[in-house]
Structure 1
């Protein structure tokens, strides 16, 4: 028979065990929490974690297998290699393009791959050297006559863009005389081309290749002259110690010289069925 004293002893042991477990969990959280004034580089080296944002459904940049939870894609390949170089592991936090800058500011992530260095973003985060230059392309039927941006810069040319995007800003600056069919989302812009409301659609190459692969009846991807592109960079937190940004810059240049960046891009495009022969001649990443 178990006495009251023995029961009290067992309860005491259970409570003590719970306190120890709770303390261990709290300590693990504390070990991964940023120390006051700690730089991003020092935090990664201490925690052995490189935290990045992952965005569902943005192939070839990010892809999440909903069955297994595994991530892949161009940005994930880069993050995995960078983490290995830093003797750390990748930790992926699901987010959105719009929230990624806020995640950097709040120290939820350490780096965001695939950001365009717009002036408004540069007010609150810092950018590395370019990962690549993403060429502006158009999607149109094969018999579409425009071969240059100047050919498109006419009122009779109906050009689809998604409002507020880099495509929109580029079009307003480069072809101000064209009739812009400016729509709320990229999908809406694609539908306007499909329905005949627009003559062509402007997208950067990494997106236009995917768009046409998903819907070949839209037309084909072409590169108007002169070739125009925008840089795609990594965003990092503003830090008095610039060592992490400098490290990423050096890592980018090293992998560019090896040809690794292009290999990661080509490999990620295969996630959506795009092979190297599908890439228009003259398109450089």
Structure 2
């Protein structure tokens, strides 16, 4: 309940004297919240040990610390020569430019993403699904992309894997990177199948080579990979198994920094910045399903 809400409610229902008493209670409530926000890990952790926003820290240091896995094109990819590229990599660079600071990358894995973010980073990017377990530890930006899990397989066998039931069979090998939502989805929905972990950088080469039968991942990645590999085809990409959204991870409790990032993101999505960054990667591929 906000202070303004407390004022309107109590003035209407109880009169000015009672309102004054309840307003004092509201003030105590906000003092308690402010006190709670002052606790927690310092440095680049999810919350600051003071009331200073990460926005001020970034401006003072002149550096935006960003986390990414580097193994999830078209959003993030390690080029192999120490450079990172991808839609979200370029978006984070645009945020740093807007802040008028440099960007420093902290490459991690899906299994270590949360720990790396909490210890080292101001923002994490790279096709990250927004879900309740992650939201227990971080704030998320406004959603960037609506998505959902779907599968991809070799084109000559794609009709064999049209449903979760088709894939959840003892003779079907599902492949996925260790850690992250793809592994969690496979272990939950394909317990009767053969489950196989693999390096995410070469996972689709392994699928093409016959090392697995099917890969289940986010729709955006499936459409991108089907565009890149002639041998691989998407399985019902417009009828995903579930619904999810992607966003950027931000420090929990830092409303000032979240508001800044959300305003920057809203402009980037509306003024053509995001589309211009995404176009070299996806071309005419429609990442967001039409209504």
TM-score, scaled to structure 1 = 0.65
What pairs up with 1:1-285 in 2 under 5 angstroms? Answer: 37=50, 38-64=52-78, 70-86=83-99, 88-97=100-109, 98-106=111-119, 108-114=120-126, 115-143=128-156, 144-145=158-159, 149=163, 152=166, 155=169, 158=172, 160-162=174-176, 164-171=179-186, 179-185=192-198, 190=204, 193-194=207-208, 196=210, 198-209=212-223, 211-212=225-226, 215-217=229-231, 219-224=232-237, 226-227=239-240, 228-239=242-253, 241-267=254-280, 269=281, 276-277=283-284, 279=285, 283=289
Find the residue that maps to 1:232 and give its secondary structure: strand
Cα distance, 1:150 vs. partner?
6.3
Provide the rounded CA distance (Å) in 1 between the counterparts of 2:161 and 2:152.
12
CA distance in 1 between counterparts of 2:215 and 2:222 reads 9
Q: Which has the larger radius of gyration?
A: 1
Given that residues 52 and 90 in structure 1 are in contact (C-alpha distance below 8 angstroms), is that contact kept between their aligned partners in structure 2? no
Task: Show structure 2 runs of 5+ residues with no match.
Answer: 1-42
User: Judging changes above 3 Å, is the alpha-carbon distance between structure 1 residues 282 and 40 closer, same or farther for their aligned structure 2 residues?
Assistant: closer
Q: CA 1:142 to 1:264, structure 2 compared with 1: closer, same or farther past 3 Å?
A: same
Matched pairs, number? 238
- In the alignment, structure 1 segments of 5+ residues that lack a partner are 1-32, 270-274
Instruction: Give the deviation of 1:245 after TM superposition.
Output: 0.8
RMSD: 3.7
State the shift of 1:223 in Å. 2.8
Whether contact under 8 Å (1:104, 1:125) holds in the other structure is: no
What do the CA deviations read for 1:193-225 (whole angstroms, capped 9, x no partner)?
4465754321223433554566533x2124345
Asked if the contact 2:161–2:167 (Cα under 8 Å) also holds between the matched residues in 1, the reply is no
Kept in 2, the 8 Å contact 1:147–1:225? The answer is: no
Tell me if structure 2 keeps the 8 A contact 1:157–1:199.
no
Q: CA deviation at 1:231?
A: 1.4
Is the contact between residue 57 and residue 64 of structure 1 (CA under 8 Å) also seen in structure 2? yes
